[in-house]
Structure 1
Amino acid sequence: MTDAATRPRADLRRAPERYRSTPAEGIETRHAFSFSGHYDPKNTHFGALLACNEETLAPGAGFDEHRHRDTEILTWVVEGALAHRDSDGHAGVVRPGMIQHLGAGSGVTHTERNVGGAEVPVRFVQMWLQPDTFDAPPVYGLRRVEPSADGLTLLASGMERDSGSAALRLRRSDAALYLVTAGPWQPLPALPEAPYRYAHLVAGSLGYRTVPGPQGGGRSMEPGDSVRATGPAFADPTAGPDGAELLLWEMHSPVSYG
């Protein structure tokens, strides 16, 4: 896809449109972008975001040891618990209400598995972001999130303005990830402005206008749906009858090459 934001646009992608893969027994992945054996040259990234996968691991299932390099990997668990272990000696269990960051840097191997003894699947959203600092030592962070009263909670950021916050630190100086929440029929809080914003609905439902004002068409989102918004598109988002929980990326530049 083209990263030049020639006009405001809110590109809605429905959950059933995601590419489905089953890389191993007990694993189901729903991909938002081209991934592995599935390649679509018009859908390789949005802004600096390279992947947004919805993962489900059955009890006893998981990803065996595999390697990453120069990728910022953020993980948000929706249900169950995910066990992480990597070659730098980090280990953690990610549960709902926690955010995990693995900065692969110069290279790291890790495993991801449904926690031992689990009787239910673990479901999580995993997002990959291109860093702007390369070949750095790998880093790891895990924190429990205290949702903000105003409904806009900063989860991770590489921006200088956020350096004093509790957010996990990203190695991308113009990107940030938020948890956005609203109660039934309530408007979402004022969202950060950016040339590129990626919104993934985790739970509930919401409606929005494609652009501000009377020219904006009305759209609705269900869990697993996403919106790729450029400029001021994705206007007046309002939660549905069960409220809304949204993961939102603020990005000020696209993927860079070379």
Structure 2
Amino acid sequence: MDVRRADERYHGGDPAAGISSLHSFSFGPHYDPDNLRFGALIACNEEQLAPGAGFDEHPHSHTEIITWVVEGELTHRDSTGHETLVRPGDVQRLSSAGGVRHVERNDGDAPLTFVQMWLAPLEPGGDPAYEIVHGIADSTPYAVPEAGAMLHVRRLMAGERTAVPDAPFVYVHVVRGEVKLNGEELGPGDAARITVAQDLEALAGSPAELLMMVSPSGA
């Protein structure tokens, strides 16, 4: 298990434009040849957008993009005609496939924070696809078939335990709260990269929210 702390993430974004970004993997000008991906996961970004701030229309291709809103509301529009509001508890998936353009903005009056995971698809190309699940139930796995991956969302009360899925690659990201995992104390923004996960549990020391991305294989 490789633990990466919140304060080890790369800082990015454009603070003058109301955008603050924290990157867990190599991203943009932050290049680390030893930190390119884990399993299917190639990015895990925490984005903070001030009211009125956002990312203007930009392209993506050959990437599966999973978005989890922590607080606020995310306005999403893409070139295939989808326009949605993504709120806390919703899972949004954009399969960019052969190519798609989209806009992500905070059109609300309150700050917006969201976690976005990018995954490498099993096969390049294809047609873009979009899906949003509003208010996904706790412990309900969310499949990302194009990447052969599965997202598990867990919301825990203090003292509650949850099993970590047995899998070749499991990336555990702490959204909020404190948890103990295999003897390590993890707090908000901390992550654990677990190779060949088996018979592991996370114990919440306070009310906590976890994102666990499971991959069967990867670099």
TM-score by length of 1: 0.81
Aligned to 2:181: 208
Q: What letter matches 2:214 in structure 1? A: E
Higher share in strand: 2
Q: CA deviation at 1:234?
A: 8.2
Task: State the distance in 1 between where 2:201 and 2:126 align.
Answer: 40
Q: Which has the larger radius of gyration?
A: 1
Cα distance in 1 for residues equivalent to 2:10 and 2:68: 20
Amino acid at match of 2:170: R
2:94–2:129 contact (8 Å) kept in structure 1: yes
SS in 1 for 2:167: coil
The residue matched to 1:51 in structure 2 has which SS? strand
Q: Does 1:156 align with 2:137?
A: no
Q: Structure 1 residue 228 and structure 2 residue 193: aligned?
A: yes
- Give the Cα separation in 2 of the matches to 1:234 and 1:119: 44
Q: What residue is the counterpart of 1:13 in the other structure?
A: 4
Equivalent residue for 2:134?
144
How far did 1:22 drift? 2.3
Distance 1:191 1:157 in 2: 18
Contiguous gaps of at least 5 residues in structure 2? none
Structure 1 pair 234–43 and aligned structure 2 pair: CA distance change class (3 A): farther
- Match for 1:103 among 95, 102, 108? 95
The aligned amino acid for 1:43 is N
Letter in 1 for 2:97: G
- Whether contact under 8 Å (2:170, 2:197) holds in the other structure is no
Distance 2:136 2:149 in 1: 21
Structure 1 unaligned segments of length 5 or more: list them: 1-9, 159-170, 210-217
Contact 1:208–1:234 (CA under 8 A) maintained in structure 2: no
SS in 1 for 2:14: coil
Q: Partner residue of 2:156? A: 182
Distance 1:145 1:191 in 2: 22
Structure 2 vs 1, CA of residues 78 and 222 (structure 1 numbering), >3 Å: closer, same or farther?
same
SS in 1 for 2:203: strand
The question of 1:253 aligning with 2:217 is answered yes
Among 84, 108, 122, the alignment partner of 1:92 is 84
Q: Percent identity?
A: 46
> Residue 91 of structure 2 aligns to a residue in which SS?
strand
Deviation of 1:86 after TM superposition, in Å, equals 0.7
1:74 aligns with 2:66: yes
Per-residue displacement from partner, 1:135-174 (whole Å, max 9, x unpaired)? Answer: 11100111113424xxx2212332xxxxxxxxxxxx12x3
Question: Quick one: distance in 2 between partners of 1:232 and 1:66?
Answer: 36
Alpha-carbon distance between aligned partners in 2 of 1:138 and 1:252, rounded to the nearest angstrom: 23
SS at match of 1:65: strand
- TM-score under structure 2 length normalisation: 0.95
**Matched residue count:** 218
- Report how far residue 243 of structure 1 moved: 2.1
